[in-house]
Structure 1
Amino acid sequence: MKSIKRNWMLAYMICLVISAVELIFCHIQGSLTQTLLTFVGICAFFGGYVCIFAKQKLPTYYDDNRVCLYSDGIFRMNVPGVSFNNSNWPHILQALRIWSVCSMVLYPILQVLIMNVFPEHYTYIGGYVLLFLTLSCMFIPVYIVGKKYE
């Protein structure tokens, strides 16, 4: 279990460096937006938690009761309809880890592509559609694996 956490910590650090380089290139190119900076920052913060600090095993309270809210310090996650327990928690963590490291790296690339391909429609496509797709790519897999292994 420690090797899994160590591997995710390494993957997170590598993706964090790649994301920082991408943000520097976006700044040089002139395509660094507040939305991009905010979203990558949220992914970095969230990814740091799930890859480095998240507990691998939940307290037995989660197995004994149907709890839809996970709370650990300042981190809180509520997924209506999904009861967190030790059978689905490793899969939920896996989905969150994959989402956070992929989003940190892919979101800047997608934004630059959209800005260059659709410059006149960037606000709509890049601002709203891309953000919606990215966030749904987090919640849908968490919901699916949460229900599947419940």
Structure 2
Amino acid sequence: MFEIDKERFGAFLLELRKEKGYTQKQLAEKLFVSDKAVSKWERGLSLPDITLLGPLAEILGVTVTELLQAQRISEEKTLTKPEVDALVSGSLRLSAEEQEEKRLKQRKNMIRYLLCMALAGVEIWLLLYAEVGKEIFFTGFFTIEGLSFLFGAWFLLFARETLPAFYDENKINYYSQGPFRIHIAGVYFNNRNWPHVLRAGRISMLGIAVINPLLNFLLLKATGEVLWRRYEGYVCLAVVLCIVFIPIVAVAKKNE
């Protein structure tokens, strides 16, 4: 069975990129991936997604076959049936490796999510057990916790890693997937900023879920129960604004 030599592929990719005069960042921008991904390909640590082979070959001025074989093929040369079969099997193997990498990544994300839930649960249990912060447990508190874990699960486990091509061709300031929808006026989503938006959403949503119990407890002790009851709604709004909305808008605009 034909197997793609990652090191040979990376060396060939590096050669082609330098011939075209592209930096890793410039090539990454054309493919809507990170320059770290291009660096990994060139160092033989990983291979590009099978859906990127066509665009990558076109940008570098070679055929997909030449990419897979990691060498230029003269126009006079005709591939034999065994060679074609080997390339097809190699492409299928590449696709299988991609699926396995995605499964491993999904598993790691699930572990991170469960760890955050466990940590938040321990915090809540300690506050209840010690009976020093039970005043913070009002409807708004559990609403914040629930929404944080709900949207955190979407960002971490269910959100698509890439957007459809028409997002890169048009200025679109919303994204919807099932019941979830992101709509930010003045911010346009595309495959350049989408990975950063996902990362910011994951960190901010699960970050809120983890720090919310401790933050509420500290604010309660700092302001007293009377003031806390009066302004708890504003505090929740400020937390969401500072920890969720602002980071997502910032990274989206920066990488737009």
Is the 1:62–1:86 contact (alpha carbons within 8 Å) kept by the matching residues of 2?
yes
Post-superposition offset of 1:5: 4.4
Larger radius of gyration: 2
The equivalent of 2:144 in structure 1 is: 39
The alignment partner of 1:112 has SS state of helix
Show the counterpart of 2:233. 127
Aligned to 1:8: 109
Q: Which residue, 12, 23, 43 being the options, matches 2:124?
A: 23
Shift of 1:4: 4.8
Which consecutive unaligned segments of at least 5 residues does structure 1 have? Answer: none
- Higher mean C-alpha displacement, 11-20 vs 96-105: 11-20
* SS of the residue 1:77 aligns to: strand
Equivalent residue number for residue 156 of structure 2: 51
| 2:114 partner letter | M
Amino acid in structure 2 at the alignment position of 1:148: K
* Identity in percent: 35
How far did residue 66 of structure 1 move? 0.8
For the 8 Å contact 1:50–1:96, the answer to whether it is kept is yes
TM-score, normalising length: structure 2: 0.54
Indicate the RMSD between aligned Cα atoms, in angstroms.
Answer: 1.8
For 1:69 and 1:11, the matched residues in 2 are separated by: 27
**Greater relative contact order, per chain length (Cα 8 Å cut-off, separation 6+):** 1
2:210 aligned residue: 105
1:145 matched to 2:251: yes
Q: Which runs of 5+ in 2 are unaligned?
A: 1-100
Q: Which SS does the other structure have where 1:108 is aligned?
A: helix
Q: TM-score, normalised by structure 1?
A: 0.89
Whether the aligned pair in 2 keeps the contact of 1:114 and 1:126 (CA below 8 Å) is: no
